[in-house]
Amino acid sequence: MTDLQPYISLDRGRSNGFMNKQERKQTFFEVFTDASCPKDLADKAACIASKYYPAGLIGATEEEVNTFKQAQDYLTRQEQ
């Protein structure tokens, strides 16, 4: 399982306490592109992350996991 929470706290500051799926996708996309992830990969990874949030990548296909991990590598590089 890949934990999505360390990279983003999605629901803080919301009047109802939660973001909708599109808002989560946009937020994930911004996190990935801020880490210099190519936009095409960031978009795919953001779709995957928002689809499975908050359960990590439970139920994701191997292809989805690999795509997400490629984008996640940009976040790891940024942290170093």
- pLDDT higher than 60, residue 6: no
53: three-class secondary structure by DSSP: coil
pLDDT, residue 1, reads 42
Nearest to 60 by CA among 50, 74, 72: 50
Tens of pLDDT, residues 19-66:
788 988 999 999 999 999 999 999 999 999 999 887 889 999 999 999
Give the residue, 2 or 66, on which the prediction is more confident.
66
**Helix H or strand E segment including 25:** helix 21-34
Q: Where are the domains of the chain?
A: 20-79
Kindly report the pTM of this predicted structure: 0.77
5 pLDDT more than 70:
no
> What is the Cα–Cα distance from 62 to 34, expressed in whole angstroms?
25
